[in-house]
Structure 1
Amino acid sequence: MTGTRTWRDPGWRAAALGWAAGQLERAGLVPGGEPEQPHVRAWSTAFRIPLRGGEAVWLKAVGPGSAQEPVLAEALAVRVPERVLVPLAVDRGRRLLLLPDGGPTLREAGADLAAWTAMLVAHARLQAEVADHADGLVALGVPDHRPERLPALVADLLADGDAQQAGRPDGLAPEVRARVLAGTGRYAAACRELADGGVPATVQHDDLHDGNVFAGGGGYRFFDWGDASISHPFLVLLVVLRFAGQVLDLSPGHPALFRLRDAYLDQWLDHGTPAELRELCDQALHVAPLQRALTWRRILRGVHEAERTEWAGAVPGWTAEHLAPGPLAPGG
Structure 2
Amino acid sequence: MTELFSQTVATDAWRAEATRWIGSELSRVGRRVTGEVVQRRIRPWSTQLVVPSDRGTVWFKANCRSSAYEPAVHLALARLEPGEVEAPLAIDVDRGWMMTTDRGTTLGDSHAATLEEWQSVVELAARVQRQVAEHGEVLVAAGLPDCSPATVPARYRWLVDQLAALPADHPSHLPAEEADSLRARTGAVEEAVAALLAAPLPVSLQHGDLHPGNVFVVDDGMRFFDFGDAQWAHVLEVLAVPYGFSTRVTHHPWAALLDAYAQVWADLLDREALESLLVPAMVTHAVNRSFTWLGALEGARPEELAEWGDSALYYLRLTHEPFPPEEPESGP
Deviation at 1:329, TM superposition (A): 5.3
Structure 2 residue aligned with 1:249, among 248, 251, 255? 251
- The answer to whether the aligner puts 1:272 opposite 2:272 as a matched pair is no
Structure 1 residue aligned with 2:321, among 306, 314, 324? 324
Q: 1:170 and 1:328, CA in 2 relative to 1: closer, same or farther beyond 3 A?
A: closer
Give the stretch that moved more between structures: 214-223 or 145-154: 214-223
- Matched with 2:171 is 169
Rounded Cα–Cα distance in structure 2 between residues aligned with 1:244 and 1:210: 12
Q: 1:258 and 1:196, CA in 2 relative to 1: closer, same or farther beyond 3 A?
A: same
Q: Contact conserved, 1:66 with 1:226, CA < 8 A, in 2?
A: yes
Deviations 1:111-150 (CA, angstroms, capped at 9, x unpaired): 1111101111011111111111112221222111000010
- Matched with 1:253 is none
Rounded Cα–Cα distance in structure 2 between residues aligned with 1:329 and 1:123: 27
Deviation at 1:157, TM superposition (A): 0.7
- Matched with 2:6 is 4
Give the letter for the 2:31 counterpart.
L
Deviations 1:284-305 (CA, angstroms, capped at 9, x unpaired): 123211221011112223x256
Rounded Cα–Cα distance in structure 2 between residues aligned with 1:329 and 1:237: 18
- Matched with 1:104 is 105
Q: How many residues align?
A: 324
Rounded Cα–Cα distance in structure 1 between residues aligned with 2:257 and 2:278: 12
Rounded Cα–Cα distance in structure 1 between residues aligned with 2:312 and 2:13: 32
Q: Look up the SS of the partner of 1:48 in the other structure.
A: strand
Q: Look up the SS of the partner of 1:247 in the other structure.
A: helix
- Matched with 1:83 is 84
- Matched with 1:58 is 59
Rounded Cα–Cα distance in structure 1 between residues aligned with 2:122 and 2:163: 38
Q: 1:33 and 1:305, CA in 2 relative to 1: closer, same or farther beyond 3 A?
A: closer
**What do you get for the CA RMSD once the two structures are aligned?**
2.2
Structure 1: gaps of 5 or more residues? 251-255
How do residues 1-332 of structure 1 correspond to structure 2 at under 5 angstroms?
A: 1-52=3-54, 55-110=56-111, 111-160=113-162, 162-163=164-165, 167-173=169-175, 176-249=178-251, 256-301=253-298, 303-304=299-300, 306=302, 309-310=305-306, 311-327=308-324, 330=327
Q: 1:217 and 1:184, CA in 2 relative to 1: closer, same or farther beyond 3 A?
A: same
Rounded Cα–Cα distance in structure 2 between residues aligned with 1:236 and 1:106: 18
Q: Look up the SS of the partner of 1:231 in the other structure.
A: strand
Rounded Cα–Cα distance in structure 1 between residues aligned with 2:7 and 2:301: 12
Q: 1:313 and 1:151, CA in 2 relative to 1: closer, same or farther beyond 3 A?
A: same
Rounded Cα–Cα distance in structure 2 between residues aligned with 1:264 and 1:50: 38
Deviation at 1:79, TM superposition (A): 0.5
Rounded Cα–Cα distance in structure 2 between residues aligned with 1:312 and 1:205: 22
Rounded Cα–Cα distance in structure 1 between residues aligned with 2:39 and 2:219: 26
Q: Look up the SS of the partner of 2:267 in the other structure.
A: helix
Q: Contact conserved, 1:165 with 1:172, CA < 8 A, in 2?
A: no
Give the stretch that moved more between structures: 170-179 or 75-84: 170-179
Rounded Cα–Cα distance in structure 2 between residues aligned with 1:285 and 1:141: 23
Give the letter for the 1:101 counterpart.
D
Rounded Cα–Cα distance in structure 2 between residues aligned with 1:175 and 1:244: 35
Identity among equivalent pairs (%): 34
Deviation at 1:163, TM superposition (A): 4.9
Deviation at 1:161, TM superposition (A): 5.7
